[in-house]
């Protein structure tokens, strides 16, 4: 997997992640990063700007790293967590949203995030950058089918809490002191119909302004911290 940028590089060094290869701009002069590279006895490959942009067209800040693909957790790793709190993303597509959600969930102590394999953003360079290191401390589970996963989680005693604008129940009215999966919908369409039908409870965040929806990562932050507060 190709990742870019100085902050991402520093996080990888900090967590001692495996790095296959490092590409640097020929005039790269960040002494802190150069020292970290030297400590690890990695021989970087120097490139011109044009050569770097052929590898990745993003804002790489003069450094591109080739690292092993992200290793997802297995569903079995999270099914039996005592009084577990899991966030499920129903086909989130924006990597900035995904990265921000990971950061929020890690900060709030969420146990894991579940994403679907298809029609959903995966862990990539942008997600890693936006999550600001939280990715290293958060279990991300990729599953083939969200609805089948929900059914399995129900068998394990989890309650499924869906988010929708159509519910009459405000998110703040429940105590949430039980094993739960919080389902966050797609940026444009929300939670899919079949997934919504499988939810035990549907909650809404009241909109008192002139707009009628929130960014997915913002909505996740509001809900996650309300649930965390109620579960103390």
What is the per-residue pLDDT for 120?
Answer: 83
What is the per-residue pLDDT for 212?
Answer: 63
Distance from C-alpha of 208 to C-alpha of 217, rounded to nearest angstrom: 19
What is the per-residue pLDDT for 180?
Answer: 96
What is the per-residue pLDDT for 194?
Answer: 93
Give the mean pLDDT per block of 10 residues along the chain (232 residues): 89 87 94 92 92 88 92 89 94 92 96 92 88 88 95 95 86 91 88 93 82 81 94 78
Pairing of strands 2-4, 63-66: antiparallel
Distance from C-alpha of 167 to C-alpha of 189, rounded to nearest angstrom: 15
Q: How far apart are the first and last CA of the chain?
A: 39
Residue 141 corresponds to which tokens in the numbers above? 């589970």
Q: Does the global pTM surpass 0.85?
A: yes
For CA atoms 117, 105, 176, 161, the dihedral sign is negative
What is the per-residue pLDDT for 108?
Answer: 95
């Amino acid at each position: 997997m190709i990742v870019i940028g100085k902050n991402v590089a520093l996080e990888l060094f900090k967590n001692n992640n495996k790095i296959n290869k490092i590409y640097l701009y020929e005039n790269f002069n960040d002494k802190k990063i150069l020292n970290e590279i030297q400590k690890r006895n990695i021989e970087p490959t120097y490139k011109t700007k044009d050569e770097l942009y052929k590898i990745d067209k993003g804002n790489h800040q003069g450094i591109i790293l080739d690292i092993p693909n992200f290793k997802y957790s297995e569903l079995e790793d999270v099914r039996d967590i005592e009084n577990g709190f899991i966030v499920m993303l129903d086909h989130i597509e924006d990597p900035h949203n995904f990265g921000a959600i990971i950061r929020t969930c890690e900060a709030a102590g969420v146990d894991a995030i579940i994403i679907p394999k298809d029609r959903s953003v995966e862990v990539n360079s942008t997600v890693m950058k936006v999550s600001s290191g939280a990715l290293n401390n958060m279990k991300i589970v990729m599953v083939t089918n969200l609805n089948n996963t929900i059914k399995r989680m129900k068998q394990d005693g989890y309650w499924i809490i869906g988010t929708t604008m159509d519910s009459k129940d405000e998110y703040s009215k429940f105590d949430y002191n039980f094993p739960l999966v919080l389902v966050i919908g797609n940026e444009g369409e929300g939670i899919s119909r079949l997934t919504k039908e499988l939810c035990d409870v549907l909650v809404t965040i009241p909109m008192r302004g002139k707009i009628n929806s929130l960014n997915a990562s913002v909505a996740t932050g509001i809900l996650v911290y309300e649930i965390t507060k109620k579960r103390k």
